[in-house]
Amino acid sequence: MHEIHLADEAAQLALGGRLAERLRAPFVLYLQGDLGCGKTTLTRGLLRGLGHQGAVRSPTYTLIEPYTLATTQLYHLDLYRLTDPEELDYLGLRDLLEIPAIWVIEWPECGAGALPPPDLRLQLEHRTDGRCLRPVATTEAGLALARVLYE
Ligand code: ADP
Ligand code: MG
């Protein structure tokens, strides 16, 4: 699937909003890319699209931030500071995974082996004029959601 250009923060938020329109639990979304490439911004747009009205902070130190939304439970993870994937057990991840939810995971590479496999990976990169995004779908649900990005 070809690259999508996101000119500014507003575009990044809007793309999250479009994903929210079709996103249904259970779903695992990996957000990959360097620091500052817009992973949390995209998540913010997604959460707003799902009706969340409060703040969306990066769970850089807490690792996980749960959101109880009108239609679903969503867990936002940022594993940048995780040193050992086994630490995820202490967060009670195993129990949380038993209930269908939406998982949005920044820095999934850091949790390799202890995370559910993704339905869709969004690979983000810096560009001189904003950011770019490339989707990699790994399930039918992931492919269906990725298609929304090109509509
Ligand atoms: P990450 O979570 O990947 O580290 P953030 O979402 O925190 O990145 O974004 C880092 C900065 O980049 C923020 O100041 C944000 O406003 C800005 N930003 C996000 N998306 C874009 C974009 N498409 N173009 C330009 N700046 C952006
Ligand atoms: Mg972030």
Which ligand does the CA of 12 lie closest to?
1
Q: What is the mean pLDDT of residues 16-39?
A: 97
Q: Percentage of residues in the chain with pLDDT exceeding 90?
A: 87
Ligand 1 site, residue 32, Cβ cutoff 6 A: no
Q: Quick one: which of 109, 135, 113 has its CA closest to 122? A: 135
Residue 9 has which token pair? 């923060």
Tens of pLDDT along 107-121?
999 999 999 999 999
CA-based Rg of the chain, rounded to a whole angstrom?
14
Q: Give the residue whose CA is nearest to atom 10 of ligand 1.
A: 36
From the CB of 8, is ligand 1 less than 6 Å away? Answer: yes
Confidence of residue 86 (pLDDT cuts 50, 70, 90): confident
What integer pLDDT is reported at residue 85 of this predicted model?
87
How many residues are given for the chain?
A: 151
pLDDT score, position 89: 84
Query: What pLDDT, on the 0 to 100 scale, is given for residue 43?
Result: 98
Calculate how far, in angstroms, residue 41's C-alpha sits from the geometric centre of ligand 2: 7
Is the distance from the beta carbon of residue 43 to the nearest atom of ligand 1 less than 6 Å? no
Q: What domains, with CATH codes, occur in the chain?
A: 4-148 (3.40.50.300)
| pTM score | 0.97
